[in-house]
Amino acid sequence: MSVKVAWPLSYNIIRGRSVNNTFGMVRKHANGTAKPHQGWDLEASSGTSCFAIADGKVEFVKLNVGDYGTQVCCSFDFDGKTLYAYYAHLSRVDVTEGDSMSQGDLIGATGNTGNAATLPTSEDHLHFEIRTKKICGLGLAGRISPMKVYGTCPLTSAAIQNLSNSMSLTANDLRCMP
């Protein structure tokens, strides 16, 4: 039986409603060749609360390191496999490495750390990934599209997490590229 995962934010929509902010070979290098984006960029003003998507464990916390800035990685079970929910560009972290967590627990707050620090405030977001291993390098290796966990992508219509931690989607959710 598949575990039902919650959304990382109360209001989840892809930043700018742009496919460029979804998972996959959706961006371009300066020379026009395809460039990977490793997760979803979900619109969120700096300071927006982000939450555990499932019961699990905090695997690591990194404070303002590299392009991802302040990061949290949490393991959880999904369809008999261990996956990792990864949150980046955070302004605040409310968990510690090794903590057990329950779905809906506060992870921290969104921010503009790492390479998000150079963006205008209108582009504030949570960079959110689903990983198959907790430490990943460049490219898409060790990551899967969050759509494989959620079954949909909030590209043009928001996915709203209600207070009872159950998932609620609008009828017009548009599927993103896998």
Q: In whole angstroms, what is the distance from residue 116 CA to residue 111 CA?
A: 8
Query: Do residues 114 and 138 touch, judged by C-beta distance below 8 A?
Result: no
For the chain, give the mean pLDDT.
Answer: 89
The pair of three-digit structure tokens given for residue 26, joined into one six-digit string: 């959706």
Closest C-alpha among 178, 176, 157 to residue 168: 157
The pLDDT, as a whole number, for residue 170 is 32
Q: In whole angstroms, what is the distance from residue 153 CA to residue 54 CA?
A: 18
- The pLDDT tens digits of the residues spanning 65-112 come to 999 999 999 999 999 999 999 999 999 999 999 999 999 999 999 999
Any idea where the domains of the chain sit in the sequence? 11-148
Q: In whole angstroms, what is the distance from residue 56 CA to residue 16 CA?
A: 31
Between strands 159-161 and 11-12, the pairing is antiparallel
Answer CATH for 11-148 from 2.70.70.10, 1.20.120.530, 3.40.50.970, 2.40.30.30: 2.70.70.10
Q: In whole angstroms, what is the distance from residue 70 CA to residue 116 CA?
A: 11
pLDDT band at 2 (very low <50, low <70, confident <90, very high): low
Of the CA atoms within 13 Å of residue 167, those in its CB half-sphere come to: 20
The pLDDT, as a whole number, for residue 4 is 87
Q: In whole angstroms, what is the distance from residue 78 CA to residue 125 CA?
A: 25
Closest C-alpha among 160, 178, 156, 114 to residue 10: 160
